[in-house]
Structure 1
Amino acid sequence: MTSPAAERGREVRQRLLSAAVELIPERGWTAVSTRVLAERAGVTPSVVHYHFASLPALLNEAVVGVMRQMLAELDGFLGAAGTPAEAVDLMLASLNDYSGTDPLSLLFIEAYLTATRDERLREEIAAVVDGFRSRFGRWLSERGVPEAEATAAVLVASIDGLLLHRGLGAQPNLEAVRAVLHRLLT
């Protein structure tokens, strides 16, 4: 049985992480301060430092947690797909949920930019992406795709790049992209 204080602590910690996920796309990574974050979460600034070693540690944990959730959804596509081509089609179809200027896309863009200057964040994001790429590579290998690990790396980078390009207003013809990605699988 969990004590009421421990439960409140978990709830406050989750509110802080959720507030970070909201604020980063709204204001930009560097404009999220302890004060602004605490205000959004409905706590005092001292509570932020009680639950997290630093503001960057909180922001990193928030973003990496969302990235893990997103890639877990892609794992779900692998479970739903019967063939590698179907997996690619499901991943491409998921792009329709993101404009490149929506909060989740902006969160990822901000995280990638920050990771160029924050080695810890870069390592954490790389670990999440590498984990998915490895799982996808094994899945492709089990289905007879040649050079499965390298193919997974290219496919994942392509999907990621398409999302990043949407933030710039670039909207490539997804049918043409689909045909190219399908060729990689044979």
Structure 2
Amino acid sequence: MGTSAERGEEARRRLTRAAVELIPERGWAAVSTRVLAERAGVTPSVVHYHFPSLGALLVDAVVTAMRGLLAEATAALASVRTPGELLEAMLAALEPYDGRDPMSVLFMEAYLAANRDARLREAIGEVVAGFRDELAAWLDTRKVPAPTETAAVLAAAIDGVLLHRALNPGLTRAAVAPVLRRLVDRA
């Protein structure tokens, strides 16, 4: 069965995985310790053994999911050479997300909850700022004007496209690319 530390790490992984599943299914506020523990296959006391609170577990789960997704996007920076290729790679990475899929809903729920939870707002802010900084550095090396501001607007636009896709499925790569390309094309 493994060492105590290995069993503890497995319990933490199951809890965070369960949180990532439950938040989109039920909504941030409807995830309870009991429901989360049941989904993870542990007792409710295990939640508080591994995390200081249910809120801390939810923050950890969401931030881990966001870091994973943004790490993929950051890795794509190494494989593209031009701002146009960057935009195409970013939009291609969005294809699996229609705004109603679990990952999109997870992000939306987390952004909404962050308005009421300073700890969550700060954690998400750090993740997003890290991505924007990487993107700005990449844009700067390609001599894109105002790289920091361009990175901020591009990241916000990508978030907005995901949010709006749930309402407007017409926001496809083909529809969005020409508009966003103007952000990264040299003046």
Once the two structures are TM-superposed, the CA of residue 64 in structure 1 deviates from its matched residue by 0.5
Q: Equivalent residue for 1:71?
A: 70
Structure 2: how far apart are the matches of 1:173 and 1:114?
Answer: 27
Percent identity (aligned) = 60
Q: Equivalent residue for 2:148?
A: 149
Alignment-mate amino acid for residue 31 of structure 2: V
Q: TM-score with structure 1 length normalisation?
A: 0.95
Listed as ranges, the matches of 1:69-108 within 5 Å are 69-108=68-107
Point out where structure 2 has 5 or more consecutive residues left out of the alignment: none
Q: Equivalent residue for 2:122?
A: 123
Structure 1 segments, 4+ long, off by >2 Å, are 167-177
Residues matched between the structures, number: 184
SS of the residue 2:94 aligns to: helix
Structure 2: how far apart are the matches of 1:111 and 1:82?
Answer: 33
Q: Equivalent residue for 2:25?
A: 26
Contact 2:73 2:93 in 1 (8 A): no
Alignment-mate amino acid for residue 171 of structure 1: G
Contact 1:100 1:169 in 2 (8 A): no
Point out where structure 1 has 5 or more consecutive residues left out of the alignment: none
Q: Equivalent residue for 2:12?
A: 13
Q: Equivalent residue for 2:46?
A: 47
Once the two structures are TM-superposed, the CA of residue 176 in structure 1 deviates from its matched residue by 3.9
Structure 1: how far apart are the matches of 2:75 and 2:34?
Answer: 38
Structure 1: how far apart are the matches of 2:26 and 2:180?
Answer: 35
Q: TM-score with structure 2 length normalisation?
A: 0.95
Once the two structures are TM-superposed, the CA of residue 77 in structure 1 deviates from its matched residue by 1.4
